[in-house]
């Protein structure tokens, strides 16, 4: 922290540099994942470290990928049945996940992109009220 006046506050330039570093690191670690979704999930884990949130995942696959096979995998591994949108090469599923789960999921070479929303908790960092589920 850089001292400004009598208060300890990060300098705006330093804060933006830190944010830039965070964004670049996240995009490097999760190249196919929506940044807004990553920030929501990261904020949730910071604020509620003992809670695994319910999320809505939207996963777009490369053309020609067997979506039914992917759906079967999620049915077993996440105990949830995804909705299949074959014409869009997309699955939508509402499991409970943490960043480590998303990291594992994003290693799938068949994925074009993925995103989603965190459905639970009061997230004061993002000023959004959500119910714990």
The contacts of residue 35 (CB under 8 Å, 6+ apart) are: 23, 26, 27
Distance CA 25, CA 116 (A): 19
Distance CA 16, CA 81 (A): 40
Q: How many residues does the chain have?
A: 133
Domain boundaries, the chain: 1-30, 31-133
The contacts of residue 50 (CB under 8 Å, 6+ apart) are: none
* pLDDT by residue, tens only, the chain of 133 residues: 445 443 566 689 999 999 999 999 999 999 999 999 999 999 889 988 998 999 999 999 999 999 999 999 999 988 899 999 999 999 999 999 999 999 999 999 999 999 999 987 644 445 555 555 4
pTM: 0.79
Classify domain 31-133 by CATH number: 3.30.70
For residue 8 the two structure tokens come to 């300890």
């Amino acid at each position: 922290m850089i001292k400004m006046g009598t208060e300890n506050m990060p300098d705006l330039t330093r804060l933006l540099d830190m944010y830039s570093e965070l964004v670049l690191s996240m995009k490097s670690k999760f190249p196919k994942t929506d940044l807004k979704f990553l920030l929501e999930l990261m904020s949730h884990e910071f604020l509620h470290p003992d809670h695994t949130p319910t999320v809505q995942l939207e996963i777009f696959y490369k053309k020609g990928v067997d979506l039914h096979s992917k759906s079967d995998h999620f049915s077993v591994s996440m105990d949830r049945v995804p909705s299949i949108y074959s014409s869009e090469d997309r699955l939508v599923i509402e499991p409970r996940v943490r960043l480590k789960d998303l990291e594992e999921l994003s290693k799938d070479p068949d994925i074009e992109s993925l995103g989603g929303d965190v459905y639970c908790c009061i997230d004061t960092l993002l000023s959004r009220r959500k119910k714990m589920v």
